[in-house]
Amino acid sequence: MDDTHREFVDVVNAMLTCTDAELAGNVRAFIVHAEKHFADEKAWMEASDFPATDCHVDDHNAVLASAREVEPLVAAGNLEIGREFAAELARWFPGHADYLDSALAHWLVKKSAGGKPVVLRRKVTLGE
């Protein structure tokens, strides 16, 4: 999960810092990443009978729906919406990771090891 989250940060940072000519490709890269990222987490939730699966999956689905709406707009030249979307992702992700993904990680560790994990946090800033 940590590796996937680092990749998420990298993909969003690419959207935040790329040239205008690169933005459409980076939005596409985000969608490809998010589809796999979210599918992996859904599989973990379903395999472990995670109690908050529906809420967590709904959050992912909303992000993917937005990305799929933004992609053709950016491809048509609306770069501002792509930049705004990337900025919203940068605002959304820390809360999602701290609450929903953290709960999933705790659940998975508890199911597999019988106890809670030790959590170490490092501050990550998007857009730098």
pLDDT digits over 71-96, tens only? 999 999 999 999 999 999 999 999 99
Report d(CA 24, CA 77) in Å as an integer: 9
Can you give the pTM of this predicted structure? 0.85
Say how far apart CA 104 and CA 87 lie, in whole Å: 25
The pLDDT tens digits of the residues spanning 4-21 come to 899 999 999 999 999 999
- Counting residues of the chain whose pLDDT is more than 90, the rounded percentage is 76
Most confident of 13-22, 94-103, 111-120: 13-22
pLDDT value at 114 more than 90: no
